[in-house]
């Protein structure tokens, strides 16, 4: 059966795609969001694990926190706090360098986290949306002013507008043969490790930014983000250089090395209840495209994501939100 023609199909249920879809649906459009993953939020992701003794833990193994420097993101933060799905986590990050830890320096800049995990942001944006997970889009075509979106089984959606929230390397095959430029964006990979402990480490800081360490660039005491009673846990993020050098290894191979690197910084760890490693092949844009996104009014196609530069503050969740909102605005002009 040929799918009905929608107003907009959004490919990619990351934060930018969901922000765009939410705004477009609010104007009365029929919108559908497709994503190859089982859920929403993209790299604003939370892993739920259960320890052998039955304790549940939530670990944010992708995006670290959410910032709000713009009027609309500030309003999102205010409403999230009022509704109970968001809280302020910290206004300063401790730093490790040459074996010495400096105390966090409050900078007046709040970092927000959802108590139930970063994926709550995407789930909140996705409320009321038509989201179809588990769809790997393999082709795009335009016929008689209608976009045809295909997976391995054939056409799965048709729409007058298509928006893509997809890393640039994955855009190239989708846009092949179409007169749509692929943004000049390069991504750094990242290995992350989540560690649930039987006791907390001896530290007061909620997170530690590492400078000059050969393996790690970030350690968070994950339970400081969670409601009382959450088991002690650490989130480790490897440097882009280490991640790139070890990109094709398995999680079982890299996890012991990431744990050893944490011991170099923190000393001997308490007993580990459970741990995992996760690879992000496209983690952080290290070369970004100019502008808040891309919009072609003639073809009715848009691109968005944190690989664009909607402001000067770097690639992060706030940039993705701003990019998604921007491309939705262009699609309604």
pLDDT in tens, the chain (333 residues): 678 999 999 999 999 999 999 999 999 999 999 999 999 999 999 999 999 999 999 999 999 999 999 999 999 999 999 999 999 999 989 999 999 999 887 777 899 999 999 999 999 999 999 999 999 999 999 999 999 999 999 999 999 999 999 999 999 999 999 999 999 999 999 999 999 999 999 999 999 999 999 999 999 999 999 999 999 999 999 999 999 999 999 999 999 999 999 999 999 999 999 999 999 999 999 999 999 999 999 999 999 999 999 999 888 999 999 999 999 999 998
278 and 198 in one domain? yes
Q: Which CA distances in Å does 193 have to 76, 196, 274?
A: 29, 10, 11
pLDDT at position 147 is 97
From the number of C-beta atoms within 10 Å of its C-beta (0-12, 13-18, 19+), residue 276 rates as middle
Q: Identify whether residues 9 and 57 lie together within a single domain.
A: no
Statement to judge: residues 214 and 176 lie in one domain: no
pLDDT digits (tens, 9 = 90+) for 18-56: 999 999 999 999 999 999 999 999 999 999 999 999 999
- Do 195 and 322 sit in the same domain of this protein? no
Q: What is the pLDDT of residue 1?
A: 65
Would the pTM of this model clear 0.85, i.e. be above it?
yes
Q: What share of the chain is helix, strand, coil (3-state, %, to 5)?
A: 25, 35, 40
135 and 176 share one domain: yes
Q: How far is CA 40 from CA 95, 194, 212, 252, in A?
A: 32, 20, 34, 26
Structure tokens at 309: 């530069």
pLDDT value of residue 182:
94
C-alpha angle 323/329/333, rounded to 5°? 145
Quick one: 36 and 54 in the same domain?
no
Q: Which domain holds residue 298?
A: 1-40+126-185+288-333
158 and 10 Cβ atoms separated by less than 8 Å: no
Pair (234, 331) in one structural domain? no
Indicate which CATH number applies to the domain containing 14: 3.50.50.60
Torsion angle in degrees (nearest 10) through CA of 270, 224, 59, 186? -110
DSSP run (H or E) holding 45: none
SS3 58: strand
* CB 292, CB 326: distance < 8 Å: yes
Q: Which residues are CB-contacts of 8 (< 8 A; sequence separation ≥ 6)?
A: 21, 24, 29, 30, 31, 32, 159, 160, 161, 162, 163, 331
Task: Kindly state whether residues 225 and 208 are assigned to the same domain.
Answer: yes
pLDDT tens by residue, 100-155: 999 887 777 899 999 999 999 999 999 999 999 999 999 999 999 999 999 999 99
Verify that 213 and 224 share a domain, yes or no.
Answer: yes
3-class secondary structure, 21:
helix
Q: How many domains does the chain have?
A: 2
Same domain, 168 and 86: no
Q: What angle do CA 73, 284, 49 make, to 5 degrees?
A: 85
Do both 255 and 282 map to the same domain? Answer: yes
Pairing of strands 233-238, 154-164: unpaired
């Amino acid at each position: 059966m040929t799918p009905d023609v929608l107003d907009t199909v959004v490919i990619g249920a990351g934060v930018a795609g969901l922000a765009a879809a939410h705004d477009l649906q609010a104007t009365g459009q029929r919108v559908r969001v497709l994503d190859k993953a089982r859920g929403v939020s993209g790299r604003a992701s939370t892993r739920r694990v259960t320890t052998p003794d039955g304790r549940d833990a939530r670990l944010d193994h992708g995006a670290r926190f959410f910032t709000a420097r713009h009027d609309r993101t500030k309003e999102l933060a205010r409403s999230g706090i009022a509704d109970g799905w968001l809280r302020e986590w910290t206004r300063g990050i401790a730093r490790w360098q040459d074996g010495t830890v400096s105390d966090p320096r409050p900078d007046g800049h709040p970092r927000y986290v959802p108590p139930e995990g970063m994926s709550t942001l995407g789930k909140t944006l996705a409320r009321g949306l038509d989201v179809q997970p588990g769809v790997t889009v393999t082709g795009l075509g335009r016929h008689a002013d209608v976009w045809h979106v295909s997976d391995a089984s054939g056409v799965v959606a048709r729409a007058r507008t298509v928006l893509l929230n997809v890393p640039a390397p994955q855009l190239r095959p989708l846009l092949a043969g179409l007169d749509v430029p692929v943004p000049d964006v390069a991504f750094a990979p990242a290995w992350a490790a989540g560690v649930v402990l039987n006791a907390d480490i001896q530290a007061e800081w909620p997170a530690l930014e590492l400078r000059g360490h050969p393996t790690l660039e970030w350690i968070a005491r994950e339970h400081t983000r969670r409601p009382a009673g959450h088991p002690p846990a650490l989130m480790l993020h490897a440097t882009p250089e280490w991640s790139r050098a070890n990109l094709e290894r398995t999680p079982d191979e890299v996890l012991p090395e990431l744990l050893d690197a944490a011991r170099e910084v923190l000393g001997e760890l308490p007993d580990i209840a459970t741990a995992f490693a996760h690879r992000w092949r496209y983690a952080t844009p290290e070369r970004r495209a100019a502008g808040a996104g891309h919009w072609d009014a003639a073809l009715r196609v848009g691109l968005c994501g944190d690989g664009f530069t909607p402001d000067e503050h770097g690639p992060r969740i706030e940039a993705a939100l701003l990019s998604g909102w921007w491309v939705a605005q262009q699609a309604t002009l």
